[in-house]
């Protein structure tokens, strides 16, 4: 299935429409390539919160879905904003206006034969659950998430067959990055706290919540397929030096054990050994282990943008992987303005690596190139984006045809220009459709087809033959 992807908080806007509650995305200001987004204590006056309005899909959804249909989309990946369904997260009953909005969106997709693909939690935890319960540092979050998932499965199982539980659950491997721990788990680290220990506990609760949701989905409607969602950023050794090879192996384990639990239903031995070595005693019960074993995922959903490179150093004899360990420039690759390497072959490598390990169908639910675009005479000549996507589709074809990997679909990021998750910018653009809005929030919001729109239309029409 060819299509495109977005996430609710990055494109819907309408942050207070239909009794929607405040989400963690609503308290993040705008940054840029060199400035981190700030997480404020609630919505404070005087700040620029780019997700509040985003590209206002909330009021443009008919026009936008029509454009997706014109490109020939067979599927469309979005998320359900948790705060439209449970504005605070801990209500007894869901918000009917929020549910009705997605009825309309999915019906509009179906009108054109577009299959909706849905992520349940895509950096959109209700802010109230952070304030009241501390986010995923609290076991109660399992129940809140499962309740949200159940409501969505029951309501939409006739419209939505493919689901994912937690978007890029493994981003928080870089637990020292404030943004990544907050968007995955809703955790702000207090002075004196051990961020790594908090991360492992939160991730455990998320993995258990995911495994319960998988079991419920299968009970509610066995035709539903539930996947995990992993950020596949392969970690290469800088050199053929054996210690660099070992560093890369340990780094891959540390970044992908989340998928091991999702797919195999148990913690890999290296993680149990690491907990023992570090003295971490995560709250893991027998019931948790039962659920993990009985709620394994149906497919591996993943994003792919870039690879990173690691090397062994004397001050890290145990090969512990942390954020900075993967910041070495690969001498064979070039980077985007935002420092993301461009590595098409890494997609095929990551797909092979995961297929060897999980033997599950794969769904490439994000892949794309963030770049500045310029509009000249009503046109956007984004050949750099076309080049990026063409090279990645060529590698996907090799993975399917030469390596035999089953692939459910390909939904590049993004169907349309939206707010960047990492920087909050509009001008880090990914879409096939240009939206007239800048980083200051100014613009007409007009939609304009880029060159890549026409190119991707022809790719879909030719089933990937005409690249
Ligand atoms: P932006 C880090 C590494 C890889 C993908 O990212 C990431 C991140 C977090 O920024 O995010 C995913 O907008 C994510 C999307 C996001 C997209 O990649 O920062 O699932 O929500 O928009 C692109 O350039």
**260 C-beta closer than 6 A to ligand 1:** no
Comparing 88-102, 180-194, 321-335, 368-382, the range with the smallest average pLDDT is 321-335
**367 C-beta closer than 6 A to ligand 1:** no
pLDDT of 173-190, one tens digit each?
999 999 999 999 999 999
CA of 286 to the centre of ligand 1 (A): 34
Atom of ligand 1 minimally distant from the CA of 7 = 21
What's the pLDDT score for residue 184? 98
pLDDT at 281 over 90: no
pLDDT at 441 over 90: yes
Phi (first) and psi of residue 163, to 5 degrees = -125, 155
Distance CA 3, CA 116 (A): 10
Instruction: Assign 134 a pLDDT band (cuts: 50, 70, 90).
Output: very high
Q: Which of 108, 115, 124, 168 is an active site residue?
A: 168
Instruction: Assign 327 a pLDDT band (cuts: 50, 70, 90).
Output: confident
pLDDT at 220 over 90: yes
Listed in sequence order, the DSSP H helices in 295-425 are 344-358, 383-401
Contacts (Cβ under 8 Å, ≥6 apart) of 220: 150, 153, 154, 157
pLDDT of 240-274, one tens digit each?
999 999 999 999 999 999 999 999 999 999 999 99
ipTM score above 0.90: yes
Asked if 168 is an active-site residue, the reply is yes
What's the pLDDT score for residue 261? 98
Contacts (Cβ under 8 Å, ≥6 apart) of 143: none
Atom of ligand 1 minimally distant from the CA of 419 = 13
- Write b or e for each residue in 386-416: b if 16 or more Cβ atoms lie within 10 A of its Cβ, otherwise e: bebbebbbbbbebbbeeeebebbbbbbbbbb
Phi (first) and psi of residue 102, to 5 degrees = -75, -30
pLDDT of 151-163, one tens digit each?
999 999 999 999 9
Helix (H) or strand (E) holding 366: strand 362-366
**166 C-beta closer than 6 A to ligand 1:** no
Q: Report which of 377, 357, 277 is spatially closest to residue 317, judged by C-alpha positions.
A: 277
Instruction: Assign 34 a pLDDT band (cuts: 50, 70, 90).
Output: confident
**351 C-beta closer than 6 A to ligand 1:** no
Nearest CA owner, ligand 1 atom 13? 420
Does 414 sit behind a cis peptide bond, omega within 30 degrees of 0 on the bond before it?
A: yes
Asked if 70 is an active-site residue, the reply is no
Q: Report which of 129, 49, 117 is spatially closest to residue 85, judged by C-alpha positions.
A: 129
Nearest CA owner, ligand 1 atom 17? 421
CA of 50 to the centre of ligand 1 (A): 15
Nearest CA owner, ligand 1 atom 16? 421
- The owner of tokens 């908080």 is 9
CA of 209 to the centre of ligand 1 (A): 23
Contacts (Cβ under 8 Å, ≥6 apart) of 402: none
What's the pLDDT score for residue 314? 94
Atom of ligand 1 minimally distant from the CA of 368 = 23
Distance CA 464, CA 453 (A): 14
- Best of 10, 183, 303 for a ligand 1 pocket test (most atoms within 8 Å of beta carbon): 303
pLDDT of 361-376, one tens digit each?
999 999 999 999 999 9
**167 C-beta closer than 6 A to ligand 1:** yes
pLDDT of 40-59, one tens digit each?
999 999 999 999 999 999 99
Instruction: Assign 125 a pLDDT band (cuts: 50, 70, 90).
Output: very high
CB 300 within 8 A of CB 358: yes
E strands in 167-317: 225-231, 235-237, 299-303, 308-310
- Best of 422, 427, 428 for a ligand 1 pocket test (most atoms within 8 Å of beta carbon): 422
User: Please, what is the average pLDDT of the chain?
Assistant: 97
pLDDT at 171 over 90: yes
Comparing 32-36, 224-228, 276-280, the range with the smallest average pLDDT is 32-36
Nearest CA owner, ligand 1 atom 10? 422
Nearest CA owner, ligand 1 atom 21? 421
Atom of ligand 1 minimally distant from the CA of 180 = 9
- Taking the CA atoms of residue 4, residue 8, residue 14 and residue 19 in that order, the dihedral angle to the nearest 10 degrees is 140
Structure token pair of residue 121: 């939690």
CA of 289 to the centre of ligand 1 (A): 30
**79 C-beta closer than 6 A to ligand 1:** no
**13 C-beta closer than 6 A to ligand 1:** no
Domains for the chain: give ranges and CATH numbers. Answer: 3-461 (3.20.20.80)
pLDDT of 233-249, one tens digit each?
999 999 999 999 999 99
Q: What percent of the chain has pLDDT over 90?
A: 97
pLDDT at 26 over 90: yes
Q: Report which of 159, 151, 149 is spatially closest to residue 106, judged by C-alpha positions.
A: 159
Q: Which of 266, 366, 394, 465 is an active site residue?
A: 366
DSSP code of residue 378: T
Distance CA 76, CA 410 (A): 10
CA of 422 to the centre of ligand 1 (A): 6
Distance CA 164, CA 226 (A): 5
- Using DSSP, state whether 328 is helix, strand or coil: strand
């Amino acid at each position: 299935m060819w299509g495109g992807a977005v996430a609710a908080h990055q494109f819907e806007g309408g942050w207070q429409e239909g009794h929607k509650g405040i989400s963690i995305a609503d308290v993040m200001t705008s940054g840029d390539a060199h400035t981190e987004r700030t997480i404020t204590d609630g919505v404070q006056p005087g700040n620029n919160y780019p997700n509040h309005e985003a590209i206002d899909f909330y009021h443009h959804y008919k026009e936008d879905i029509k454009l997706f249909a014109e490109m020939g989309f067979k599927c469309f990946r979005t998320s359900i904003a948790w705060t439209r369904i449970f504005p605070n997260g801990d209500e007894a009953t869901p918000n009917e206006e929020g549910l009705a909005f997605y009825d309309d969106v999915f019906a509009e997709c179906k009108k054109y034969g577009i299959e909706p693909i849905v992520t349940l939690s895509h950096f959109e935890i209700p802010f109230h659950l952070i304030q009241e319960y501390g986010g995923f540092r609290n076991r109660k979050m399992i129940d809140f998430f499962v309740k949200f998932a159940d409501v969505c499965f029951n309501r939409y199982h006739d419209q939505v067959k493919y689901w994912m539980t937690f978007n890029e659950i493994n981003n928080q491997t870089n637990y020292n990055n404030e943004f990544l721990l907050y968007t995955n788990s809703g955790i702000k680290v207090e002075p004196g706290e051990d961020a790594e220990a908090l991360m492992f506990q939160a991730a455990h609760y998320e993995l258990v919540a995911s495994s319960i949701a998988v079991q419920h989905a299968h009970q509610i409607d066995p035709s539903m397929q539930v996947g995990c969602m992993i950020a596949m950023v392969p970690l290469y050794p800088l050199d053929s030096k054996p210690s660099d090879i070992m560093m890369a192996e340990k780094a891959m384990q540390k970044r992908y054990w989340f998928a091991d639990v999702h797919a195999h239903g148990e913690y890999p031995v290296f993680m149990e050994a690491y907990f023992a070595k570090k003295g971490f005693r995560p709250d893991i019960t027998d019931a948790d282990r039962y659920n993990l074993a009985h709620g394994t995922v149906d497919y591996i959903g993943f994003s792919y943008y870039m690879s990173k490179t690691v090397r062994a150093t004397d001050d890290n004899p145990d090969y512990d992987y942390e954020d900075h360990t993967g910041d070495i420039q690969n001498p064979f690759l070039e980077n985007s303005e935002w420092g993301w390497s461009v590595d098409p072959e890494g997609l095929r490598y990551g797909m092979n690596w995961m297929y060897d390990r999980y033997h599950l169908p794969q769904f490439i639910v994000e892949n794309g190139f963030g770049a500045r675009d310029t509009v000249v005479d009503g046109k956007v000549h984004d050949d750099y984006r076309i080049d990026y996507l063409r090279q990645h589709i060529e590698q996907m074809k090799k993975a399917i045809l030469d390596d035999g990997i089953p692939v459910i679909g390909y939904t590049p990021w993004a169907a349309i220009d939206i707010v960047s998750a990492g920087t909050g910018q509009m001008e880090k653009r990914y879409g096939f459709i240009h939206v007239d809005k800048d980083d200051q929030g100014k613009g007409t919001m007009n939609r304009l087809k880029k060159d890549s729109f026409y190119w991707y239309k022809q790719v879909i029409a030719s089933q990937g033959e005409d690249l």
